[in-house]
Amino acid sequence: MTTSQDRIIIFDTTLRDGEQSPGAALNIDEKLTIARQLSRLGVDVIEAGFPYSSPGDFEAVQKIAETVGVEGGPTICGLARTTRADIEAAGKAIKPAAKGRIHTFIATSDIHLAYKLKKTRAEVLEIAPEMVAYAKTFVDDVEFSPEDAGRSDPEFLYQVLEKAIAAGATTVNIPDTVGYTTPAEFGALIRGIKENVPNIDQAIISVHGHNDLGLAVANFLEAVKNGARQLECTINGIGERAGNAALEELVMALHVRRQYFNPFFGRPPESEAPLTNIDTHHIYKTSRLVSNLTGMFVQPNKAIVGANAFAHESGIHQDGVLKNKLTYEIMDAQLIGLTDNQIVLGKLSGRHAFQTRLKELGFELSEEDINKAFVKFKDLADKKKEITDWDLESIVNSEVRQPPELFRLELVQVTCGDRSHPTATVSIRTPDGEELTDAAIGTGPVDAVYKAINRVVNVPNDLIEFTVQSVTAGIDAIGEVTIRLRHEGRVYSGHAANTDIIVASAEAYVNALNRLYAALESGVEKIHPQQSQPAKV
């Protein structure tokens, strides 16, 4: 087993920074599901949330600490601004974890100091070590970030980092908060820190970056060459604006190009020892899970996990691949868990076979959830002769992993054609148990369904995204629908799967409305971690 300095620590922030993507909000059960999968994937640190932001976020971090942060599991981290209230909340939330970490941060760039914090450099030099020391009263493992480090004065940055490490920070994270730097600049920044912070050998250097210029992964790999040993990333690269550095791209770059990166770790080029602890066979499944639960669609040409990542249309490419995969493929699809679309179950398969296969695929479901999924499976088996692993994943994600069922779709019926007005009738059971039915005419069948649903639910919203994709090949394939809608500036997503695209569209819309309605009912607004901090620490 290599030490933390001669391999890369993978710090996953899907549940914190990734969840800040518009419409990607997750409930507690969904966060727990993703955290369990991240543990199977082998991430070293899970940044589970920002506990001070809301009671729901605090509870989610605490539950992840209790159930996923067990002995031998990943470190569970909570984010905190450099205020006592934030740090105390993070300390309490992660307390059940066998290994807990508090990640505290304060901005250091002059533009942030002047316009966001309204503080001087001298004040930041006092606050940073004071709050790191306070965090140390809760846990031994404290990470400190100088926000917007990429646009900070290097000399000031060195001073802040030296004081934070002296106060007890075991990891110092260098964020490219606005995705501004280029690889050469970012590598030079990390090199400058190693050369100019006297006590830097007492802490791990971490990097965090956004993809506004499409350079996040390249920046990170350059940082690795210059001494960074922790990478803060998200599944599918989700996150605010253009997203974060993508975990799957970083991990596979370090895996495929081991011979190139090995010397930067003091290893011989030919060493086959992995540079991360990630079990790459879980990458594709984790990508699918996060995409389904967040409603963040993965583009077909996305590196590593996109639908076209291992597809070859060109006849020249196809001929070469058939003769030798290495002609046009630099990695095996099976390495990321993308196996052949193998038939596993059929109409005559029983509950035991169904349950066994779900366990083999890594799903840990309660008896109630297994029963719900099995009903959906039998219904699908009546319509589709061959049920694949991908179908099973879609069933679980669509039937079990959904927001609280406040509104329930009871019936959807559509008439349409090239010489008729598309008309939809829907019946919906409301939160108080009443079943309401209404109908509407639309420009197409889905538009008619959504208008009818809106007449019943009566929650104002704007539909801003509607996507459909096939789970498998064939005319009887399951269709997955992901939608996003906006209400008063906030975005909510919904996801559903069905062999009938119209039914899936209706279910996805109701799922999104349930998220919206639940948020309205709770009346709780989450605090954004990058909003201005209170005057008192």
- What range does the domain containing 332 cover? 283-293+312-336
Question: Phi and psi for 70 in degrees, rounded to 5?
Answer: -80, 170
Q: Are 285 and 337 in contact (CB under 8 A)?
A: yes
H helix or E strand, kind and range, residue 102: strand 100-107
pLDDT at 299: 86
Burial of 534 (0-12, 13-18, 19+ CB in 10 A): exposed
Q: Say yes or no: 197 and 69 in one domain.
A: yes
Shared domain for 414 and 465, answered yes or no, is yes
Element (H, E) at 349: none
- Could you tell me whether strands 435-441 and 423-429 are parallel, antiparallel, or unpaired per DSSP bridges? antiparallel
* Same-domain check for residues 413 and 384: no
Q: Are 39 and 136 in a shared domain?
A: yes
How do the pLDDT tens digits run along the chain, 537 residues long?
Answer: 333 478 999 999 999 999 888 777 788 888 999 999 999 999 999 999 999 999 999 999 999 999 999 999 999 999 999 999 999 999 999 999 999 999 999 999 999 999 888 999 999 999 999 999 999 999 999 999 999 999 999 999 999 999 999 999 999 999 999 999 999 999 999 999 999 999 999 999 999 999 999 999 999 999 999 999 999 999 999 999 999 999 999 999 999 999 999 999 999 999 999 999 999 999 998 998 898 888 788 888 999 998 788 764 444 444 544 455 655 577 888 899 876 555 567 777 788 888 888 877 777 778 888 888 888 888 888 877 777 777 787 777 766 656 667 899 999 999 998 888 999 999 999 988 999 999 999 999 999 999 999 999 988 999 998 988 877 667 777 888 988 899 988 888 888 888 899 999 999 999 899 888 888 877 667 788 876 554 444
Tokens at residue 369, please? 């959830």
Domain-embedded: residue 278: no
Question: Are 105 and 229 found together in one domain?
Answer: yes
CB distance 509 to 446 below 8 Å = no
Q: How far apart are CA 177 and CA 317, in angstroms?
A: 39
The pLDDT of residue 325 is 60
Q: What residues contact residue 63 under an 8 Å CB cut-off, 6+ apart?
A: 28, 31, 32
Same domain, 329 and 377: no
Spatial separation of the C-alpha atoms in residues 95 and 120, rounded to whole Å: 33
SS3 518: helix
299 within some domain:
no
The neighbour count for residue 69, using CB atoms within 10 Å, is: 27
Q: Are 69 and 78 in contact (CB under 8 A)?
A: no
* DSSP single-letter state for residue 512: H
Helical packing angle, 367-383 and 351-360, nearest 10°: 110
- Together in a domain, 394 and 416: no
Q: 232 with 141, same domain?
A: yes
Looking at the structure, do residues 30 and 56 belong to the same domain, yes or no? yes
Q: Give the domain CATH number at 170.
A: 3.20.20.70
Going by C-beta distance under 8 Å and a sequence separation of 6 or more, which residues neighbour residue 504?
A: 398, 468, 479, 480, 481, 496, 497, 498
Report the DSSP beta bridge partners of residue 208. 175, 232
Q: What are the residues whose beta carbons fall under 8 Å from the beta carbon of 314, sequence distance 6 or more?
A: none
Task: Identify whether 72 is part of a domain.
Answer: yes
CA distance 44 to 250: 14
The pLDDT of residue 242 = 94
- C-alpha to C-alpha distance for 79 and 97, rounded to whole angstroms: 15
383 and 426 share one domain: no
- CA 145 – CA 164 distance, rounded (Å): 9
Q: Let me know if residue 140 belongs to a domain.
A: yes
Q: What is the model's pTM?
A: 0.85
Q: What phi, psi does 426 have (nearest 5°)?
A: -130, 150
Nearest one of 300, 392, 293 to 36, comparing CA atoms: 293
Angle at CA of residue 486, ends 483 and 489, nearest 5°: 150
Q: Is residue 361 part of a domain?
A: yes
Residue type, 120: T
For the chain, helix, strand, coil in percent to 5 are 45, 20, 35
Three-class SS of residue 166? helix
SS3 251: helix
Check residue 282 and give its pLDDT. 94
Evaluate whether residue 104 is within a structural domain: yes
pLDDT at res. 326: 57
Residue 483 · residue 446 · CB < 8 Å: no
What the block records as the tokens of 32 is 């727990």
Distance of alpha carbon 147 from alpha carbon 161, whole angstroms: 12
DSSP for 189-200, please give it.
HHHHHHHH-TTG
Number of domains in the chain: 4
- The answer to whether residue 358 is domain-embedded is yes
Q: What is the CATH classification number for the domain harbouring 467?
A: 3.30.160.270
Asked if 214 and 332 sit in the same domain, the reply is: no
Q: Among 381, 400, 419, identify where a domain stops.
A: 400
Whether 79 and 12 have beta carbons less than 8 Å apart is answered as no
Q: Is residue 3 part of a domain?
A: no
Please tell me whether residues 392 and 255 are part of one structural domain: no
